[in-house]
Amino acid sequence: MTTLATGFGSTALFDPVRLDRPETLVRSDPFCFLVAHDQLPAEAAGELEHDFPKYAGAGFFPYDEKDCGPSVIRLVEDLINPAVASAVGTRLGIDNLGQYPTLVTLCRALNKRHGTIHTDSRSKVATALLYLNASWPDTSDGCLRFLSRVDDVESLVAPELKPLYGNFVVFKRADNSFHGHLPFEGERRVIQVAWLTSEEEKLRKTQRGRFSRLFKKLFGSLDRRWGAGRDKNAAHKD
């Protein structure tokens, strides 16, 4: 899928063939989503951890090659390959998902204001999340939840997902595609790929993300304080 030079030759780091495993969960009710485990080779974990961006602030920021080492660049190239869009689109009932522009954002850390319940904006056709944490505390805090209600983080429609290395989810955006997680502060590494309705939306979201990154670099302590005491059932519009 890509030939970028890393310590792993020309073998894809993310190969959609792995989604064919019988344990992959695909659901269409109450909205369309997919949950898969062990989607990355174990031997790539150390290099991906080393090459992941060291952002100054918390939250998701637009992907920029200059922030990343070669293995992360290669992984992003794998994730935006049309073969991945075809594989997940077929499973979620989205025709020709690869026709839509992709926006890649990366997150290294969160603070407690993040993770409030939401659906994603109408400008998103589908969203994929690939987690990269080598371990996770014995807690539900920060674990992704797909939900049946916008006001109840306990209304799970599938088991919550720890953000562990190789865990992968995709969901089709809908008016009821509620998801979020309990408040968490700390490192939570993830790559997000969103398929958007237009290039204009991609540009708008990229510009907003760059401004957010600058703001958090300058005022990160304020950002942490604003949401430190948020209610676990808090929701927001994307």
Task: Write down the domain spans for the chain.
Answer: 16-226
> Burial, 207: exposed, middle or buried (Cβ in 10 Å; 0-12, 13-18, 19+)?
exposed
Is the per-residue pLDDT at 209 higher than 70? Answer: no
Average pLDDT, integer, range 204-212: 77
67 versus 212: the higher-pLDDT residue is 67
Average pLDDT, integer, range 146-155: 98
Beta bridge partners of 147: 156
Of residues 227, 232, 195, 203, the one with CA closest to residue 58: 227
pLDDT digit string, tens, across residues 24-37: 999 999 999 999 99
Q: How far apart are CA 37 and CA 66, in angstroms?
A: 29
Average pLDDT, integer, range 120-144: 97
CB distance 148 to 178 below 8 Å: yes
pLDDT at site 220:
59
pLDDT, averaged across the chain: 91
pLDDT at site 208:
82
pLDDT digit string, tens, across residues 40-49: 999 999 999 9
Helix (H) or strand (E) run with residue 78 in it: helix 70-79
Helix-, strand-, coil-residue percentages of the chain, each rounded to 5:
30, 25, 45
Of residues 237, 227, 224, 225, the one with CA closest to residue 56: 224
Is the per-residue pLDDT at 8 higher than 90? Answer: no
Residue 12's alpha-carbon distances to 44, 170, 190, 221, in angstroms, are: 11, 19, 18, 39
pLDDT at site 80:
98
Percentage of residues in the chain with pLDDT exceeding 90? 79
pLDDT confidence tier of residue 217, bands split at 50, 70 and 90: low
SS3 225: helix
pLDDT at site 168:
98
Residue 14's alpha-carbon distances to 4, 83, 109, 116, in angstroms, are: 13, 11, 22, 28
Q: How far apart are CA 46 and CA 95, in angstroms?
A: 36
The answer to whether domain 16-226 has CATH 2.60.120.620 is: yes
pLDDT digit string, tens, across residues 163-195: 999 999 999 999 999 999 999 999 999 999 999
Is the per-residue pLDDT at 2 higher than 50? Answer: no
Q: Tokens 């064919």 belong to which residue? A: 20
